[in-house]
Structures are given as structure tokens and as C-alpha cells.
Amino acid sequence: MLAAILVAVPATVVAVLALVLGTLFAGEISRPIHQLALGARRLAGGDYSTRVSVRSHNEVGTLADAFNQMGEEIQKAIEQIRQAAARNKELFLGSIRMLANAIDEKDPYTRGHSERVAFYACSWRSTWACRPTKSSACTCPASSTTWGR
């Protein structure tokens, strides 16, 4: 019986030690993957500044580096799209202003009509406390009128 206890105690100690070490190593393996998954969810949710800090020299570290590079490229592309949209909006509004001015200058009766319409539209908007939203842009530059799109 003493011999059985002498054999069972070291076996139990080894089993507990293996269980503890296995749990620690499993956490070290799964933690970087969990960080990548959280980062991917934030990136998919629109947070393009998301980066993950995984310090590993294996495949998971390579994947984290690729993820961070992808985030940077997406962020750059989104910024370029925003800049292009702003330029296009200015070009479009400039074209509308030129057309309105050309029509206004054609006849003395219509000269200044667009400016007057813009003035009265802005006055009406402030009188009735209209608030522009993202879906319906209300702008009142002196030479063009944009109401609801």
C-alpha cells in the first residue's frame, strides 16, 4: 500500500503540473488570436485606426503584421475617397454656380435671380428653424441653392 501511495503522489503532481502548464501555454497561444479577432471586429465596425500589438515570431505574428498593414491601407484609401468626394462636390457646385451666373447674365430681367432665391431660401430656413441633416443638405452660398437631395 505504501508503494502505491509513493507511485500515485508523483503521478498526481506530474498530472497537476501538466494541467497548469498546459493551461498557461494554451492561453499564450489563444490570446494573440483573440486580439486579432477583436481587432477585425473593430475594423469591420468602421474603426480604421485599429491596430493589434501581437509580439510573436510565428505565423500569428505574421498575420498580425499583415492585419496592421491592411488597416493602414484601408485608412489611406478612405481618406483619399473623402478628399476626392470633397473635390468633386466643389467642382459640382462650381459648375452649378457658373450655369446659374450664365443664365442670370443673359437677360437683365433675370440678372441676380439665383442670389435672390438663395437669400430668400436662407431667410425662410432660419425663420422656420430648418436644420440640415446628412441626408438632405441645405446650403446657402450666395450664388447657388441646394435644397434636399
Decide if 142 is inside a domain.
no
Decide if 36 is inside a domain.
yes
Decide if 84 is inside a domain.
yes
Decide if 137 is inside a domain.
no
Decide if 66 is inside a domain.
yes
Cell 493589434, located at residue = 52
Decide if 127 is inside a domain.
no
Decide if 2 is inside a domain.
no
DSSP state letter for 58: S
How distant, in Å, are the alpha carbons of 58, 65, 85, 131, 133 from that of 136?
Answer: 51, 41, 16, 9, 5
Decide if 91 is inside a domain.
yes
| Gap between the Cα atoms of 129 and 149, Å rounded | 19
- Range of 21's domain? 9-111
What is the number of other CB atoms lying within 10 angstroms of the CB of residue 135?
7
Instruction: Name the phi and psi angles at 26, rounded to 5.
Output: -65, -40
| Residue 43, SS3 per DSSP | helix
How does pLDDT run along the chain (149 residues), one tens digit per residue? 667 776 677 878 888 888 888 887 777 778 888 999 999 999 999 898 889 988 888 888 899 999 999 999 999 999 999 999 999 999 999 998 888 888 777 777 777 777 788 788 888 777 776 555 554 445 544 444 444 43
Number of domains in the chain: 1
